[in-house]
Amino acid sequence: MGKEVRVRYAPSPTGHLHIGNARTALFNYLYAKHFNGKFIIRTEDTDEKRNVAGGEESQLKFLKWLGLEWDEGADIGGDYGPYRQTERLDLYNKYVNELLERNLAYKCYMSEEELEAEREEQREKGQVPKYSGAHRNLTEEQIAAFEAEGRKPSIRVRVPENKTYMFQDIVRGEITFESSDFGDWVIVKKNGIPTYNFAVAIDDHLMEITHVLRGEEHISNTPKQMMVYEAFGWEAPKYGHMTLILNEERKKLSKRDEHILQFIEQYRNLGYLPEAMFNFISLLGWSPVGEEEIFSQEKLIEIFDPERLSTSAAIFDQQKLKWMNNEYIKAADIETVIDLAMPHLIESGKLPEDMDADKRTWAENVISLYREQLRYGAEIVELTELFFNDEISYDDEAMEVLKGEQVPEVLQVFTDKLIHLDEFNKDTIKAQFKATQKETGHRGKKLFMPIRIATTGQMHGPELPFAIELLGKSVIIARLDKVLKQLGA
């Protein structure tokens, strides 16, 4: 690949890090690292009305949480700064003035009302609305008259006539546009701020960006940016436009879609692991060779191949994300799992914030019971319900098991064995299962299922002897006695 690869992720500080934006950042990061290039963060903050306080910090915070590190950016500097567009306005003005001097751009004094009236007339004629060029060739007298009225001009680029714009998209192959599809478009708004397509093209050139990976909604922006490159005689970067992310109903993932959590922060708060999120997002619109789906960041960098970016829309499969996060939880050390789950038990009121050593050890043991089942941290609250409820209820399916003719005998013998235990731990409890089996002659489901249901209220669950130990002798004996009374034993 000739010159050094330089790619950028350019967030607007208008809110939290969205799944779609995180994917754009992640694919650029993988591209840069795979080709030993540079990954740059550039903040596009010129739309001041939409910017929110702390928006930039939030974006960067959650990119770092995901495991992304960048080589240049507003927070760490670099040789191509400034890295915020609002700090680059003088740079843009230089190039705007050059286009005006070369008559490749001009001032347009049309008001928004006049522009809307023009668009409405075009719609009524069945035409696609675009700027007519009404102010393309104003005389000095006309300009003076508009200035005297106090009108503020925007600046428009002169779109070349009868020109085809073609580029080889990294994802989609050859894409073409005709210049006739575009009216002369605004490069500087009436407030003096450059528009997105103009500023981006200037920034990408000055920062020596070689490849631009972004969402497919930017395809129609590409010819406009190519026009800027052409006007200055610059070489455009290579563009790649990733497909949409769809929800499970095959509809575009929208920030208003309430069926899927939209922001990385929400997943962090729910107790997803950043490594799992990185892995999952990397497969939204890209596929590796083979069937394997669990990859470390280092492995993803090694195997990332832009040729395998998908031309089909990516489906955000929530169940797959939960499965993948569970795989990472099972592989994590127990301290990580405890740190992931404990805050949710505290927040739900199940545990106090200030625990003594015994209580904390007990809570850690409860969490460790569910390590194999836990799909995300917050799920621990529901999974461990049986440890925090004084009363448990038995559903119809459970009651059907408890009606088995052997159940009173099994529960009575098991209760008697536990009552006489001096050491109440999982090993001694496990021994009482064997003793009960020997005394009653019942084994397998006929033995274990009634005991599990009577002690936990659940048909399925974690390792039973350890669960019984953590529930405590008095709680277990009380639950067994209650069931035996209900059965008339």
Q: Which tokens belong to 331?
A: 């592989």
Question: What distance in Å separates the CA atoms of residue 230 and residue 226, rounded to the nearest whole number?
Answer: 6
| Beta-carbon contacts of residue 378 (< 8 Å; ≥ 6 apart) | 269, 270, 271, 344
Question: What distance in Å separates the CA atoms of residue 169 and residue 192, rounded to the nearest whole number?
Answer: 32
Active-site residue 482, yes or no?
no
Question: What distance in Å separates the CA atoms of residue 262 and residue 380, rounded to the nearest whole number?
Answer: 22
Half-sphere exposure of 177 (CA within 13 A, CB side): 20
Rg, Å, the chain Cα set: 32
Candidate list 255, 299, 330, 403, residue with the active-site label: 255
Q: What b/e string do you get for 7-26 counting C-beta neighbours within 10 Å, with b at 16 or more? A: bbbbbbbbbbbbbbbbbbbb
Nearest to 157 by CA among 86, 224, 204: 224
Catalytic residues: 255
